[in-house]
Structure 1
Amino acid sequence: MASAAVLWFGENMSAVPLRNSKAAASAVRAVTVLGATGSIGDSTMDLLRASPDRYQVEALTANTNVVGLAKLAKEFDARFVAVADPNLLEDLEDALAGTGTECGAGESAIIDAASRPADWVMAAVSGAAGLKPALAAVDRGATVALANKECLVCAGDFFMERAAKAGACILPADSEHNALFQALGSGNREELVRVIITASGGPFRTWASADIEQATLAQALKHPNWSMGQKITIDSASMMNKGLEVIEASYLFALAPDEIDVLVHPQSIIHGMVEFSDRSVVAQLGAPDMRTPIAHCLGWPDRIVGPAAKLDLAKIGQLTFEAPDFGRFPGLRLAYDALRTGNGATTVYNAANEVAVAAFIAGKIRFGAIARLVEATMDAWIRSGNLAPLTSADDAIDVDHSARNRAATLLPQIAAKAS
């Protein structure tokens, strides 16, 4: 573990190290992958597969994919595996009979996986279910590659405080935050002017508002650059995903909302930039491949050989940029509103968005109603006087559940207005 890392914002209790420490990494690094069968997990396992002598798999988890999890456990000789659905324990044990791999099921087993003695943990369990396992890894001082948005969006303040207190090292695995992570190392906190998170603009970047309102599920899932899961692809189409990233960046790097800008960059080659007081802007570039930021986290504080395509700027020819349109993509504006409100508002933003996206997928609301449901839920939450600091995982989960219920209650009226 890179425990000798110099912290970027030490006085603000940040656990993000932005000065490369050449503290010697062990010849073999023990790793755990939480969410091993998802898209981030697939990319992580691909990197581990490329360096079998460098990494030993301690534990792997999945939600319900017993077949995929068992296959990975056998391939990587995992010591422990867990599936989130407690009803699938017998299936998992049968699939791994005779291998010597320990098996578990249910929430407690996923937390057990995170608690095992791995040097490096990929936290890629999606949704609020990923919070407690990530905290389990944090509390034992592990190096945690964070790919779960909810850890920061729903619980950013106390999550980062817990990480700093435990001496954990938080490495951002998202392409945009990893880009900022790399670029921020070029200066000091007092020299920072702003960070710039880039956005592809999604499939509706050039669409008129009326057309975005009526967009179909198939259209929302046609992302121009990235191959991702259904939920995150829809979030990209609405730019809610970029709003979530703004919130993450604030907590991850202890930044005020006004220190975070978004810039639409359709080619998705520049993933993040940092402007310093001398007006230098440091950018991180790379082909749109999630294996690049994951490889950076996996090798940190060193760099490993990554399998992503070599960046050929001459072939690309040009890089273009646009200001984000808060009118056509109100979800991005709402993220800044939630961040400035604080006291659980970002948790409400995320929960309401998940309800809205599920409703859109189910055909209950139009695409344009996603942001309206989020805004209505946030407004109702604020008016009810429920705003209060979140100090524990249970606090965050309680707010998440309450906000989902509030969004579900508001859903029929939002759907009726759009019809």
Structure 2
Amino acid sequence: MRKVVIVGATGSIGRQAAEVVQASDELEAVGLVAGRSWKELLALAETLEVERIALADPGAAALAAEHFRGRVHAGSEGAIELICDAGCDVVLNAAVGAAGLTATIAALGEGIDLALANKESLVVAGELVTALAEATGARIVPVDSEHSALFQLLRGEAPGTVERLVLTASGGPFRGRSREEIAHATVEEALAHPTWRMGGKITVDSATLMNKGLEVIEAHHLFAIDYDRIEVLVHPQSIVHGLVELNDGALLAHLGLPDMRVPISYALHFPDRQDVAVPRLDLAVVGRLTFERPDTDTFPCLRLAREAGRAGGTAPCVLNAANEVAVAAFLDRRLPFGAIAAVVEGALERCEVRAVRHFDDVLAADSEARRVAEELVAGVRA
């Protein structure tokens, strides 16, 4: 029986992870972590019969403690305490944004395997995170559908045989439209993703293609491969989740209907593979699979992410922090959709790229980038 802690338990990935745990005879949830949604967390804890929960918001933790018979960890250190004390075998980190780095460090620092859905951990501190995993012997198994696909395809391939990795992108709700047409897109339009049902922030990132840019940086660190050998293709059917080109010209593909329970189950059961009750892919019904190059003129966030990744140091951290600020402002209707990329680019231009030698360097860069991004948002009329 593998004991699991779910971080970001009340979000989309967290709730689906709970479904996977509940359906498996091999998994047991021993801890749940959320930000401030205490009522939802208590309901989930009751369903999974969990005796430990953590809430980052102290007020929410206090309210939860009044209604929960088990232990409630509170505040910014709550997740760390729970991860270290729960006796778990794997932590599924589904927190949103750079805030998820704390849970990643806590799990890997304790030598606990990490099922990683929080791509920002690798974006903002990839070299430090992978070095920590190597030092403690903890395994990082990706949960993102694209990275899970590549992870599975690469198993058993000998070093030196991989020529190229291909990440697929749905293209989001604005695929095929011009930069001018989407400059003042509404929040509702941006959240109308054609394939996946996700949280607000990641859905907007999909609409700008920033999500795919972050995934390029994540793939660079996960698979130790140069940026020039990581490609993005727009694939609106979202059936092919990743491709690997080998040195003999073979192209391996991972296919499946879009359902996050599949990569979640794979990561939690790894290295085993268990049954998952999801609809099966019928290619005759799908009929056709199409691919196209991404339009980086209309969606410059993908280009900015690649540039930040190549620059290295604190640049990816600045990219991510500025994007989080810009997306939050857009969702609050304080920033036009078309200005998200401009805020990110402005922050990258104004924040000096520095070397990253310690996690404190990441925190400092994150703080500076958020301050600069807020100034840039304030200078734009929504």
TM-score when normalising by structure 1: 0.89
State the one-letter code of the partner of 2:15.
D
Separation in structure 2 between the aligned mates of residue 107 and residue 307 of structure 1, nearest angstrom:
36
* More displaced 10-residue stretch of structure 1: 347-356 or 207-216: 207-216
* More displaced 10-residue stretch of structure 1: 88-97 or 294-303: 88-97
State the one-letter code of the partner of 2:160.
E
The answer to whether 1:256 aligns with 2:226 is yes
- Aligned partners of 1:67 and 1:95 also within 8 Å: no
3-state DSSP of counterpart to 1:311: coil
Separation in structure 1 between the aligned mates of residue 58 and residue 119 of structure 2, nearest angstrom:
24
- Cα deviation, 1:259-288, whole Å, max 9, x if unaligned, reads 100000000000111101001111111111
- Aligned partners of 1:263 and 1:321 also within 8 Å: yes
Q: 2:337 aligns with which of 361, 367, 370?
A: 367
- Aligned partners of 1:34 and 1:114 also within 8 Å: no
Separation in structure 2 between the aligned mates of residue 186 and residue 322 of structure 1, nearest angstrom:
29
Quote the residue 1:163 is aligned against. Answer: 133
Q: 1:344 aligns with which of 314, 324, 349?
A: 314
Separation in structure 2 between the aligned mates of residue 114 and residue 356 of structure 1, nearest angstrom:
31
Q: 1:299 aligns with which of 251, 254, 269?
A: 269
Quote the residue 2:360 is aligned against. Answer: 394
3-state DSSP of counterpart to 1:223: coil
Quote the residue 1:73 is aligned against. Answer: 45
Report 1:281-360 matches (<5 A). Answer: 281-360=251-330
Quote the residue 2:36 is aligned against. Answer: 64
- Aligned partners of 1:114 and 1:134 also within 8 Å: no
Question: Could you tell me how far 1:49 is from its partner in structure 2?
Answer: 1.2
Report 1:24-173 matches (<5 A). Answer: 28-51=1-24, 53-97=25-69, 101-116=70-85, 117-173=87-143
Question: Could you tell me how far 1:177 is from its partner in structure 2?
Answer: 0.5
Question: Could you tell me how far 1:190 is from its partner in structure 2?
Answer: 0.7
Separation in structure 1 between the aligned mates of residue 359 and residue 50 of structure 2, nearest angstrom:
28
Question: Could you tell me how far 1:89 is from its partner in structure 2?
Answer: 2.6
Separation in structure 1 between the aligned mates of residue 359 and residue 244 of structure 2, nearest angstrom:
31
- Aligned partners of 1:66 and 1:83 also within 8 Å: yes
Moved over 6 A (4+): none
Aligned residues: 381
- Aligned partners of 2:37 and 2:60 also within 8 Å: no
- Aligned partners of 1:128 and 1:397 also within 8 Å: no
3-state DSSP of counterpart to 1:107: coil
Separation in structure 1 between the aligned mates of residue 92 and residue 12 of structure 2, nearest angstrom:
12
- Cα deviation, 1:21-45, whole Å, max 9, x if unaligned, reads xxxxxxx111111111111101100
3-state DSSP of counterpart to 1:357: helix
Question: Could you tell me how far 1:54 is from its partner in structure 2?
Answer: 2.1
Question: Could you tell me how far 1:392 is from its partner in structure 2?
Answer: 2.6
Separation in structure 2 between the aligned mates of residue 88 and residue 238 of structure 1, nearest angstrom:
33
Question: Could you tell me how far 1:378 is from its partner in structure 2?
Answer: 0.3
State the one-letter code of the partner of 2:12.
S
Question: Could you tell me how far 1:164 is from its partner in structure 2?
Answer: 0.6
Quote the residue 2:378 is aligned against. Answer: 412
Separation in structure 2 between the aligned mates of residue 71 and residue 214 of structure 1, nearest angstrom:
39
Quote the residue 1:9 is aligned against. Answer: none
Separation in structure 2 between the aligned mates of residue 325 and residue 83 of structure 1, nearest angstrom:
40
3-state DSSP of counterpart to 1:395: helix
- Cα deviation, 1:171-214, whole Å, max 9, x if unaligned, reads 00000110110111252231111100000000111112210112
Question: Could you tell me how far 1:108 is from its partner in structure 2?
Answer: 1.0
State the one-letter code of the partner of 1:324.
P
Separation in structure 2 between the aligned mates of residue 332 and residue 95 of structure 1, nearest angstrom:
45
* More displaced 10-residue stretch of structure 1: 269-278 or 204-213: 204-213
- Cα deviation, 1:322-364, whole Å, max 9, x if unaligned, reads 0111111100000110011111100000111111111212222
- Aligned partners of 2:56 and 2:76 also within 8 Å: yes
Separation in structure 2 between the aligned mates of residue 71 and residue 392 of structure 1, nearest angstrom:
38
* More displaced 10-residue stretch of structure 1: 126-135 or 232-241: 126-135
The answer to whether 1:269 aligns with 2:239 is yes
State the one-letter code of the partner of 2:371.
N
3-state DSSP of counterpart to 2:204: helix
Separation in structure 2 between the aligned mates of residue 187 and residue 255 of structure 1, nearest angstrom:
14
Quote the residue 2:209 is aligned against. Answer: 239
State the one-letter code of the partner of 1:54.
E
- Aligned partners of 2:32 and 2:41 also within 8 Å: yes
TM-score when normalising by structure 2: 0.97
Separation in structure 2 between the aligned mates of residue 337 and residue 243 of structure 1, nearest angstrom:
10
- Aligned partners of 2:123 and 2:214 also within 8 Å: yes
Separation in structure 1 between the aligned mates of residue 35 and residue 292 of structure 2, nearest angstrom:
38
3-state DSSP of counterpart to 1:323: coil
